[in-house]
Amino acid sequence: MNWKLSFGIAITHIATKKKQSIVAMLGVLFGISMFIVMISFMTGVNRFLEDMAMDNTPHIHIYNPVTINEDKIIGQTDSSKNGWFVVHHQRPKNELAKIKNGLLMASLIEKIPGVKGVVPQVSSQVFFNNGPIQIPATISGIDVRKQDELFDLGSKMEEGRLDALLKGSDDVILGRGLAEKSGVRVGDKVSVTTPEGYNLLLKVVGIFSYGIVTLDDTKSYATLATVQKVLQRDPSYVTDLNVKLYDMQQASAIKTRLKAQLPGIYLEDWKEANAAILAGEKIRNIMTGVVSFTLLLVAGFGIYNIMNMNIVNKMKDIAILKATGFQGKDITAIFLLESIIIGVAGGLLGLLFGFAFSYMLSVTPFPAGTFFRINTFPVNFIPVHYVLGVLFGFATTLLAGYFPALKASRIDPVQIIRG
């Protein structure tokens, strides 16, 4: 088959039907560019939400949950073997939330390959007192250096410095919202009450902000020793171990491994902790897929229609080409090449426009209010999306052009020429 000849004829057809070709091309252009914008924006949103959540979420979180012992003591007595018992409204044991040998465990977990680091933490519900008003919050005692290294707390500081925590004792940093509610500024003192009723005066040395209201309104950090002191606990008292991995996708595997080694300890990976965000991500991915597919389908139908019309208009030409010796496959090639040229041109232009639109979106201010700390629309620029766009566009036009082209190749020249 003479591709060059078919290509030449296809180009001539396109060039002489400029308007029609441009309309078909615009369909593809629109489809592909919208596909690019959609997927760039959606994955941008996904990444933004994930980043925001992951800032604060350990890859694996180890803690002691409040549990109710299912193995009732009464069940261990002989009487239960030939009877039954009912326990109404069982209460949990007065157990400490403490992880036994937490600090030792932390240093052991750090040696597991794939683990970047472990931050031991003491967390407790507390009240911040603002005159007669009590503001519920949590206070977390942390290893300041490690927390900064693994969770980048230093970069979240709005006022004061994270290092200030290390300089004295009884110092605390507050979330932006919490500080406002407590009516304190850096340098002020704030009174903290624990659920057990212990009271302590802490000095505010910094204010941080994650950009997530629920966190900024309730979180505060101090050194391990300070929080242990607030809670009146010994220095081995640790309630949480936050594990950071090199590769967060390894979380499930390492969690399973830890679980086998640490029976009786509760582990949670980031996927469980962020199930809502991941579900949102899934929905956005499906939406992106459906909308992109629809756009491409519409573009495909556009090409299909235009090519069909084109072929009806060119019946005579096809008949004469066949009469002078062009074979069915030559005719197919001519019309298929026409749709491919339209598809590729429209697709490449679509990428260009898609990129331009995405760029414009990425610099457009995003009115998120105070809820998210974000200035412009989150947009990803990932080459794979662009490759996908071209491939989809190509496949759509190929498919849309194939059936009309096949129809063209089946035209019976005698019928056309004899009229």
Which of 2, 107, 256, 261: binder of other proteins (CB under 8 A)?
A: 2
417 contributes a contact to other proteins by CB under 8 A? yes
323 contributes a contact to other proteins by CB under 8 A? yes
Give me the least distance between CB of 277 and other proteins, in Å please. Answer: 57
319 contributes a contact to other proteins by CB under 8 A? yes
100 contributes a contact to other proteins by CB under 8 A? no
360 contributes a contact to other proteins by CB under 8 A? no
Cα 181 vs. chain centroid, distance in angstroms? Answer: 31
414 contributes a contact to other proteins by CB under 8 A? yes
Give me the least distance between CB of 404 and other proteins, in Å please. Answer: 18
Please check whether residue 396 is in contact with residue 299, taking contact to mean a CB–CB distance below 8 angstroms.
yes
Which of 173, 321, 333, 341: binder of other proteins (CB under 8 A)?
A: 321
Please check whether residue 123 is in contact with residue 239, taking contact to mean a CB–CB distance below 8 angstroms.
yes
CA distances from 156 to 125, 208, 210 (A): 22, 5, 6
- Closest listed residue to residue 173, CA positions, set 198, 148, 199: 148
Running DSSP on this structure, what letter comes out for residue 87? -
Which of 151, 208, 326, 386: binder of other proteins (CB under 8 A)?
A: 326
Q: Which is nearer to other proteins, 144 or 321 (CB)?
A: 321
CA distances from 327 to 6, 331, 409 (A): 11, 7, 8
* Encoded tokens for 96: 């400490």
Q: Which is nearer to other proteins, 5 or 387 (CB)?
A: 5
Provide the residue count of the chain: 419
> Which range touches other proteins (CB under 8 A), out of 4-12, 178-186, 228-236, 376-384?
4-12
Which of 143, 216, 330, 338: binder of other proteins (CB under 8 A)?
A: 330
306 contributes a contact to other proteins by CB under 8 A? no
16 contributes a contact to other proteins by CB under 8 A? yes
173-202 burial, b at 16+ Cβ within 10 Å, e below that, comes to bbbbbbbebbebebeeebebebeeeeebeb
* Encoded tokens for 356: 């331009």
Where along the sequence are the contacts to other proteins (CB under 8 A)? 2, 5, 9, 12-13, 15-16, 316-317, 319-330, 413-414, 417-418
